[in-house]
Amino acid sequence: RTVYVNGDYLPENEAKVSVFDRGFLFADGIYEVASVLGGKLIDYPAHMVRLHRSANELGMRFTVSDDELLAIHRELVSRNGLEEGAVYLQMTRGATDRDFTFDTEKLTPTLVLFTQARALIDSPVATRGMKVITIPDLRWGRCDIKTVQLLYPSLGKMEAKKQGADDAWMVRDGVVTEGTSNNAFIVTRDGAIVTRPLSNSILPGITRATLMAYSEKNGIRIEEREFTVEEAKQAAEAFITSATVFVGPVVAIDGVELSDGKPGPVALGLRQTYIEESL
Ligand code: PDD
């Protein structure tokens, strides 16, 4: 694989980042994951708008132009012959001797991109659905910023695996915030889709926004409000959205089956719509 590091395209085993990089020492970095279908980037502009927002919120310098970023994405997709998968981008504040304080102006941000080939359309998530467990949301208070502080979500997904599930939905103040790497939705008995409103407690998902626009266009009612685990367990269906899964039907929550333990028609329909409209 060819990867991109600070201006260079290199074989992955030759690419290097400083041991003093603040992304490595302090998780002082942000990222984006944009999916690729048929060699084409999906929802790309929205991912870059969010990257700028993340940088702004953390006071990080942005030293690369939008044109360059797009060119790097396209170059990597082309050099690696990526048909289906994702482009991962990480930007950190830069490298400097270890210190809790820093002078952003004196630092040069580190920029790394690489591709990951993965079957996105023919995925088991669509055919058998996902089982989720629930865990307390112990993340920091700025989950709206897409930072590389992913230890808690990573451990949460490991706990889910240990329990024979696929993912964990996090719960704060009695209501579901989001999945470890996706936004959470339920479908009510009368066919409306419910997802919590945006706040500092969740990532403003790009797939979430696009899906809501498609739903509105197709006359599906959207209720943007919080929901509890109890309500979710009694819902007609549940699903998640993320750049790499698109729409993933949820078939069980804490061992309680939804839609007879099979992907529900609303989730599958939305998944189909999302893929068709994206291609
Ligand atoms: N995760 N919520 C969280 C906590 C996420 O990490 C993600 C994305 C989402 C969905 O956002 P989007 O639709 O823009 O992908 C919601 C990416 C895919 C990841 O960490 O790999």
User: What ipTM was assigned to the predicted interfaces of this complex?
Assistant: 0.99
The residue out of 80, 98, 117 marking a domain boundary is 117
Domain that holds residue 201: 124-278
Helix (H) or strand (E) holding 195: strand 193-195
pLDDT of residue 219: 94
- Looking at the fold, whether 97 and 175 belong to one and the same domain comes out as no
- Taking only the tens place, the pLDDT of each residue in 154-189 is 999 999 999 999 999 999 999 999 999 999 999 999
pLDDT of residue 228: 98
**What whole-number distance in Å separates Cα of residue 30 and Cα of residue 150?**
11
Catalytic entry in 40, 146, 217, 262: 146
In the residue annotation, 146 being an active-site residue is answered as yes
- Looking at the fold, whether 106 and 150 belong to one and the same domain comes out as no
242 lines ligand 1 (CB under 6 A): yes
205 lines ligand 1 (CB under 6 A): yes
Contacts of 8 (CB under 8 A, 6+ apart): 15
Confidence at 43, pLDDT banded by 50, 70, 90 = very high
Closest residue by Cα to atom 3, ligand 1, is: 181
54 lines ligand 1 (CB under 6 A): no
Q: Is the pLDDT of residue 199 over 90?
A: yes
The percentage of the chain sitting over the pLDDT mark of 70, rounded to a whole number, equals: 100
The residue out of 117, 139, 159 marking a domain boundary is 117
- The torsion angles phi and psi of 162, rounded to 5 degrees, stand at -60, -35
Across the range 237-254, mean pLDDT stands at 98
Ligand 1 centre and the CA of 26: distance in Å? 21
Helix spans in the chain (H): 22-26, 44-58, 66-79, 124-128, 151-162, 206-217, 229-233, 265-278
The residue out of 117, 149, 171 marking a domain boundary is 117
Closest residue by Cα to atom 4, ligand 1, is: 181
Contacts of 183 (CB under 8 A, 6+ apart): 195, 202, 203, 205, 207, 208, 240, 241, 242
Contacts of 75 (CB under 8 A, 6+ apart): 4, 9
We report the CATH number of the domain holding residue 11 as 3.30.470.10
- Looking at the fold, whether 164 and 37 belong to one and the same domain comes out as no
Ligand 1 centre and the CA of 106: distance in Å? 31
Closest residue by Cα to atom 16, ligand 1, is: 182
- Looking at the fold, whether 28 and 111 belong to one and the same domain comes out as yes
- Taking only the tens place, the pLDDT of each residue in 99-119 is 999 999 999 999 999 999 999
Confidence at 127, pLDDT banded by 50, 70, 90 = confident
- Looking at the fold, whether 183 and 273 belong to one and the same domain comes out as yes
pLDDT of residue 237: 98
- Looking at the fold, whether 166 and 210 belong to one and the same domain comes out as yes
Could you say which DSSP state residue 104 is in?
G
Across the range 120-143, mean pLDDT stands at 95
Across the range 65-78, mean pLDDT stands at 98
Q: Which of 130, 181, 183, 125 is nearest to 153 (CA)?
A: 181
Confidence at 125, pLDDT banded by 50, 70, 90 = confident
Q: How many domains does the chain have?
A: 2
Beta-bridge partners for 90: 31, 112
Ligand 1 centre and the CA of 242: distance in Å? 5
Q: Is the pLDDT of residue 41 over 90?
A: yes
Across the range 226-254, mean pLDDT stands at 98
206 lines ligand 1 (CB under 6 A): yes
Q: Which residue has the higher pLDDT, 153 or 217?
A: 153
Ligand 1 centre and the CA of 64: distance in Å? 23
pTM: 0.97
- Looking at the fold, whether 130 and 106 belong to one and the same domain comes out as no
80 lines ligand 1 (CB under 6 A): no
Ligand 1 centre and the CA of 256: distance in Å? 25
- Looking at the fold, whether 94 and 177 belong to one and the same domain comes out as no
- Taking only the tens place, the pLDDT of each residue in 207-225 is 999 999 999 999 999 999 9
The percentage of the chain sitting over the pLDDT mark of 90, rounded to a whole number, equals: 97
We report the CATH number of the domain holding residue 270 as 3.20.10.10
pLDDT of residue 279: 85
